[in-house]
């Protein structure tokens, strides 16, 4: 038994933010039906390489496989009236609809919140867009990299001005999309909980821009409270020092020295105990104010030993630090193995399929969906049959291109 068993989700989203949200709901037990364009499907099926190659020369991009576990795929063209009617019937029995079209698009097909809610008042309808359902920018499309730039994250990410290679950088994964998907999932759960008391659903309006601004978090508050525009610090923390990567004799490590006691133990281990008594470095505020001088002194200290030697020494003294691992090292990590963070599913045509686990564990067990990411239209007949559409009618719809 999973917490969302019995919850039916109609997924009209594609790319990442929406599919990330609905995969999470599927891991929690929801029955998710993904609507895709006949013949082409979700764009991310082709966003590669790399591709996983299967039977009959089928190839599916790893990108699609990362965010569509636990879903049934229905290939359906809702630009046609028959397709619209079928989707409305599916929404009549749904608890949740998730969509990420430009605002106003689905109203042209009778698939907007107002239309579907009038038929099913208990429906929780979640709209994900670049800039929200209203406002001066509502009609603009939104993509992760542009949102990272426009909503401030790239101004905080990258090498500091004046240093070699200085300039803004995007984060290495699509964090604006992913966090919007996470906010959407939590909002859906809250709306379902509220519905249990009111009997009515809700229209949830999630914008990539809004979510990115919201999770500027301490950096956003640094600006609102201090009035100074934060700048890039590379790997360093804007409010804590020393808290950044350091070069060792054979590589790098990430030091996360969070308080004065840890700093003193670091100095003792490094043979520079006097630094902890220096008024320029004795407190965190002083260390942040004199960050440049401190980092220069510590860099010479760290260069004297290998990464492994430093990690062992710092662990023994209770100073937080870790290696800078590449992904091969991450997936070979004992913690990754012991926590089951990578696992394997069986796909009907692709065969063994690696997956990255949902990190949530409940009562010692991981919540994860049972279905592998679907083939395009794999469940079309099954879902239409559940609506009472007989085989002859399905063939007619297939012949007209409404379903695939």
Please list the alpha-helical segments (H only) found in 4-80: 17-27, 62-65
Q: Give just the sign of the alpha carbon dihedral 232, 235, 241, 242.
A: negative
Q: Which residues pair with 351 in a beta bridge?
A: 347
**Enclosing H/E stretch for 353:** strand 351-356
Which residues lie across from 206 on neighbouring strands?
128
User: Shortest CA distance to 73 belongs to which of 384, 398, 346, 353?
Assistant: 384
| Residue 207, both tokens | 């914008």
Q: Which of 77, 177, 205, 210 is catalytic?
A: 177
Q: Name the DSSP letter for residue 313.
A: H
Which three-class secondary structure state does DSSP give residue 199? coil
Cα(317)–Cα(334) distance, integer angstroms: 22
**Which residues, at least 6 apart from 287, have a Cβ–Cβ distance to it below 8 Å?**
241, 242, 263, 280, 281, 294
- Comparing CA positions, the residue from 352, 382, 403 lying closest to residue 71 is 382
d(CA 376, CA 114): 29
Asked if 177 is an active-site residue, the reply is: yes
> Please, are residues 291 and 223 in contact by the beta-carbon 8 Å criterion?
no
What's the burial of 226, exposed, middle or buried (CB within 10 Å: 0-12/13-18/19+)?
A: exposed
Q: At what angle do helices 307-317 and 260-269 cross, to 10 degrees?
A: 130
- Distance of alpha carbon 267 from the chain centroid: 38
- What is d(CA 83, CA 47) in angstroms, rounded to the nearest whole number? 26
Q: Are 380 and 73 in contact (CB under 8 A)?
A: yes
134 within 8 A of 203, measured Cβ to Cβ: no
Q: Please, what sign has the CA dihedral across residues 300, 306, 310, 311?
A: positive
Instruction: Provide the annotated active-site residues.
Output: 177
């Amino acid at each position: 038994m999973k917490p969302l068993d019995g919850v039916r989700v109609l997924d009209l989203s594609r790319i990442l933010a929406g599919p990330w949200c609905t995969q999470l709901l599927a891991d929690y037990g929801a029955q998710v039906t993904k609507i895709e364009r006949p013949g082409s499907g979700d764009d991310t099926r082709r966003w590669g390489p790399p591709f996983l190659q299967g039977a009959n020369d089928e190839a599916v991009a790893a990108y699609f496989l990362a965010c569509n576990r636990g879903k049934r795929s229905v290939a359906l063209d809702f630009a046609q009236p028959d397709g619209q009617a079928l989707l409305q019937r599916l929404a009549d029995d749904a608890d949740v609809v998730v969509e990420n079209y430009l605002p106003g698009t689905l109203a042209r097909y009778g698939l907007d919140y107002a239309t579907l809610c009038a038929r099913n008042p208990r429906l929780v309808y979640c709209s994900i867009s670049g800039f929200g359902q209203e406002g001066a920018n509502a009609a603009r499309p939104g993509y992760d990299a542009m949102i990272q730039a426009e909503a401030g994250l790239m101004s905080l990410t990258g090498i500091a001005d004046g240093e070699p290679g200085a300039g803004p950088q995007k984060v290495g994964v699509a964090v604006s999309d992913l966090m919007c998907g996470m906010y959407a999932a939590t909002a859906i759960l809250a709306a379902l909980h509220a519905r249990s008391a009111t009997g009515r659903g809700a229209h949830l309006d999630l914008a990539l821009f809004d979510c990115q601004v919201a999770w500027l978090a301490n950096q956003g508050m640094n600006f609102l409270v201090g009035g100074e525009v934060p700048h890039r610090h590379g790997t360093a923390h804007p409010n804590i020092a020393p808290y950044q990567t350091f070069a060792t004799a054979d590589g790098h490590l990430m030091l996360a020295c969070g308080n004065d006691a840890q700093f003193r133990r670091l100095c003792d281990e490094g043979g520079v105990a006097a630094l902890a008594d220096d008024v320029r470095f004795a407190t965190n505020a002083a260390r942040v104010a004199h960050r440049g001088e401190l980092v220069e002194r510590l860099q010479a200290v760290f260069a004297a030993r290998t990464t492994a030697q430093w990690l062992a020494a710092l662990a023994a003294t209770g100073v937080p630090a870790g290696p800078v691992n590449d992904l091969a090292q991450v997936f070979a990590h004992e913690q990754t193995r012991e926590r089951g963070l990578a696992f394997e599913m069986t796909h009907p045509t692709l065969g063994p399929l690696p997956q990255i686990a949902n990190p949530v564990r409940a009562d010692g067990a991981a919540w994860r969906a049972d279905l592998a990411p679907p083939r395009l239209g794999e469940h079309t007949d099954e879902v239409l049959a559940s609506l009472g559409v007989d085989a002859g009618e399905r063939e007619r719809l297939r012949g007209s291109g409404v379903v695939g």
